[in-house]
Structure 1
């Protein structure tokens, strides 16, 4: 039994990590392929793509936030090796979301786009989230980690604000049935609540050790 447990928690080799990253990359592209496959049959293709890419942006944001809890619960530190890819795919889908809205819905009219950003609150928070996600994506490389040092970790905590803004964007967008945004809000509350609880536990343990 002890040997089985040791085998189950054995660290993954670099080769395994590489193959898992390739598999994850392919899996993360499946939603994009699904959207492309069904867009022609949609009643309103632009609305369909906008909604689907926005939904998958939120999905990948929440999946990215799941990595740390899963790592701690499972003891699999290798999970951190996949977090950046998941975050970048969240950015990929939000870029598709923004490009569809700006390019197909507004026909690259900067004036109309900015009017929406300023006047419509759900677009305002969505645009802020997009800008913050762009900042995280640009600084997600190793060179930025070395250059920014401690500030890198502080900057990338903006993912919490981004996720909140994303849920608010979805909630304010929906006019009647708020079931879907409410589900995202509950899931996000659980993920953020877990982090607050863990931080409090760590503070208590640190205080106990200091006595």
Structure 2
């Protein structure tokens, strides 16, 4: 293999074998959560009741964050007209799988690596069935993420397999929603962002993915659906240790007094992120005219 071909495989170099500041910065940013997780797990800060519990939670969050970030690369690339963003999509996807493996390790560790306990829990909890489906799919996607896999499988077969990303993502997000304590915040934010990304793909197929007006309409609609999702989910499927009242819980989370410890409510985060996408599209459109 030629030196240039080897350099193309390294995360610090672009497809032409040249050093890439974008990929290098991305690699550093992707490693920071791992360092934070390692510090929390080994420093004693997470010792009560078990360091595995926060490791499970935070590694799962970073798995979902990075997966959605990978799915957001295509919209960002087209809205910003920044083609180089495509170079970091694979890096983000592989990093998401790394945090998924950490998530699995932490879940096994919390059960003291007891095979009987793991099997009983794995077979009895629907949320873990979904997690297993997601794990198998993402394992296959990660293994086939290299260019050589595309060549061996053929472009159409490779694309057909990687469309399962959406199925695996949905399974993973429902797994999160079914987790105990999914009452407000992030469990409802992530499906809202995923919905925005999926509807954007529908718009893009119709060459409307960079329309500032349609992006704004999409953002407002997604924000409303995010609120409704929380209400409907808490009404029908909530798995909180103690049942909560959907309406009061949802609107309690919208109060600024709660943001210090609950974080911004999902509806506001969706509006902010979607609004920024619409503004960027308007700015780029203005520059092109």
- How does the TM-score come out when normalised to structure 1? 0.83
Aligned to 1:160: 166
Bigger helix fraction: 1
Are the counterparts in 1 of residues 176 and 182 from structure 2 also a CA contact under 8 Å? no
Q: Of residues 22, 28, 31 in structure 1, which corresponds to 2:30? A: 28
1:191 shift after superposition? 0.7
Write the distance in 2 (CA, Å) between the matches of 1:186 and 1:17. Answer: 36
* Displacement over 4 Å in runs of 4+: 12-17
Q: Distance in 2 between matches of 1:13 and 1:166?
A: 31
- Cα distance in 1 between the residues matched to 2:15 and 2:136: 36
How far residue 176 of structure 1 moved from its aligned partner, in angstroms, is 5.2
Question: 1:138/1:13 Cα in 2 relative to 1: closer, same or farther (>3 Å)?
Answer: closer
1:136-164 Cα deviation digits (max 9, x unpaired):
01001111100111110111111111211
Distance 1:37 1:60 in 2: 20
Does 1:79 find its partner at 2:81? no
Q: 1:55 aligns with which of 56, 61, 66?
A: 61
1:115 deviates by 2.3
Q: Classify the secondary structure of the residue corresponding to 1:108.
A: coil
Secondary structure of 1:173's counterpart equals: coil
Structure number with higher relative contact order (C-alpha < 8 Å, ≥ 6 residues apart): 1
Structure 2 CA distance for aligned equivalents of residues 143 and 13 of structure 1: 14
Q: Which stretch shows the higher mean deviation, 114-123 or 49-58?
A: 114-123
**2:96 equivalent to 1:90:** yes
Unaligned runs of 5+ in 1: 1-11, 204-211
Displacement after TM superposition at 1:22 (Å): 1.9
Mapped to 2, the partners of 1:133 and 1:141 lie a distance apart of: 14
What is the root-mean-square deviation in Å for CA atoms of aligned residues?
2.0
| Aligned partner of residue 41 in structure 1, secondary structure | coil
CA contact (8 A) 1:171 1:178 kept: no
Cα separation, 2, equivalents of 1:137 and 1:99 = 18
> Is 2:107 aligned against 1:107?
no
Residues 1-211 of structure 1 aligned to structure 2 (within 5 Å): 14=16, 18-39=20-41, 40-42=44-46, 43=48, 44-102=50-108, 104-149=109-154, 150-175=156-181, 177-199=183-205, 201=206
In 1, Cα distance between equivalents of 2:19 and 2:188: 35
Deviation (angstroms), 1:31: 0.5
Aligned with 1:175: secondary structure?
coil
Q: 1: distance between equivalents of 2:94 and 2:165?
A: 12
Count of residues paired in the alignment:
190
DSSP-derived class of the 2:178 partner: helix
Q: CA deviation at 1:19?
A: 2.8
- Report the equivalent of 1:208: none
Change (3 A) 1:86 1:100: same
